Structure 1
Amino acid sequence: MAERRGLVLVYTGEGKGKTTAALGLVLRSLGRGYKPRVFQFLKHERAAFGEHRALERLGVPIEGLGDGFSWRSRDLEKSAALARAGWQRAAGAIASGEWDLVVLDEVTYPLNFGWIPVAEVVGALRSRPRHVHVVLTGRDAPAELVELADTVTEMKKIKHAYDAGVPAQKGMEH
């Protein structure tokens, strides 16, 4: 019989849909009676985008750990400190075994900025309880995560409305 265990999935690439794919797994896991939890490394703690409102209604904990789009930050050390503190919270959730699915949304950004050590994340993924699934999203996933992951999907942008001057739309991008 095939092995049943928690998986590590990575959604990366320049295209739209990484967070949406991760949230689709949250929805699917809820339908099977699993306990999912979502950590968003760029969104701030008071974010109220569409996914926050929906997951709140479904009783899924979603936590903004950042201060918005970090590359626009006026205080990068504060952004880095938020990312490090957020990682400690997320790592604790993974290690606890309380959650069947943990989403680390936009985690590649603080990893690539050097704010969170990639080796620390890899270690946490390797030592997690056997049943815990973890999804990591964001552009430019580090090679170490790609190598460790069970499933890696790269989103490729073909065309995006934003490039034609169409702003982000409620219910589509936020």
Structure 2
Amino acid sequence: MTETPMKPDDTERHNAKMAKKKAARDKIMATKTDEKGLVIVHTGKGKGKSSSAFGMIFRCIAHGMPCAVVQFIKGGMGTGERDLIVNNFGDLCEFHTMGEGFTWETQDKSRDIEMAQAAWAKAKELILDPRNRMVLLDEINIALRYDYVDVAEVVAFLRDEKPPMTHVVCTGRNAKEELIDLADLVTEMELIKHPFRSGVKAQAGVEF
């Protein structure tokens, strides 16, 4: 399909509009000078919570910034991101898979609690390590939802003990309100369509 070229008057109006937008944007950006370690929450029923978080981990790796991942739940299956990081970027990113699968798979609440508590202990250790610029707590919201880890303890630690320039990313559905209130950045992934509802199973490269 051939695009209709813009008329000279249209081009001038467009350029003037974009210049005005840029000036307004530059003025806003000039006021944003602070830096701090963020608490970031990815939640909601939609797909992409962990995928987006791993995108930030790969950005850190690309910038040569040490980082770490703790997986609270997804221990029962291999994932592409875990294999890629462990096999190629282990010097920059520690990767700890602490869970043993989703609760309906393990069917052992006491074991789930034990694993979640161990994951939280490792998470605190990594967050307090001054070398790490970012720590991803993958699916911690699931552990908090089932009260395997006390949300009040997590919030207090992130508020009072997290180093000021360390980013912490928390993923998983049903984020607790206390964590959302503390966070600097919260994104809710909305589910509009999902192939699972049409009988399509999880596939490599998309889900894991």
Name the counterpart of 1:102. Answer: 135
Percent of aligned pairs sharing the same letter: 40
Q: In the TM superposition, what are the counterparts of 1:11-160 in structure 2 within 5 Å? A: 11-44=42-75, 47-56=77-86, 57-59=88-90, 60-126=93-159, 127-160=161-194
CA distance in 2, matches of 1:61, 1:31: 15
**TM-score normalized by structure 2?**
0.80
Larger Rg: 2
Local SS of the residue matching 2:173:
coil
The structure with the greater share of residues assigned to helix is 2
Matched residue type, 2:121: Q
CA distance in 1, matches of 2:114, 2:145: 15
CA distance in 1, matches of 2:80, 2:51: 11
CA distance in 2, matches of 1:96, 1:124: 14
1:168 correspondence with 2:199: no
Name the counterpart of 1:8. Answer: 39
Residue 43 of structure 1 and its aligned partner are, at CA, apart by 1.8
Residue 47 of structure 1 and its aligned partner are, at CA, apart by 4.2
Local SS of the residue matching 1:103:
strand
1:97–1:128: 8 Å Cα contact kept in structure 2? no
CA distance in 1, matches of 2:71, 2:48: 15
Matched residue type, 2:81: E
Residue 61 of structure 1 and its aligned partner are, at CA, apart by 1.9
1:6–1:132: 8 Å Cα contact kept in structure 2? yes
The structure with the greater share of residues assigned to strand is 1
CA distance in 1, matches of 2:110, 2:201: 30
CA distance in 2, matches of 1:169, 1:74: 24
Residue 76 of structure 1 and its aligned partner are, at CA, apart by 1.1
Moved more, 25-34 or 81-90: 25-34
Gaps of 5+ in 1: none
1:37–1:103: 8 Å Cα contact kept in structure 2? yes
Matched residue type, 2:48: G
Deviation per CA, 1:40-66: give whole Å up to 9, x if none: 10022x742111111112222221111
Matched residue type, 1:132: T
Would you say how many aligned residue pairs link Structure 1 and Structure 2? 173
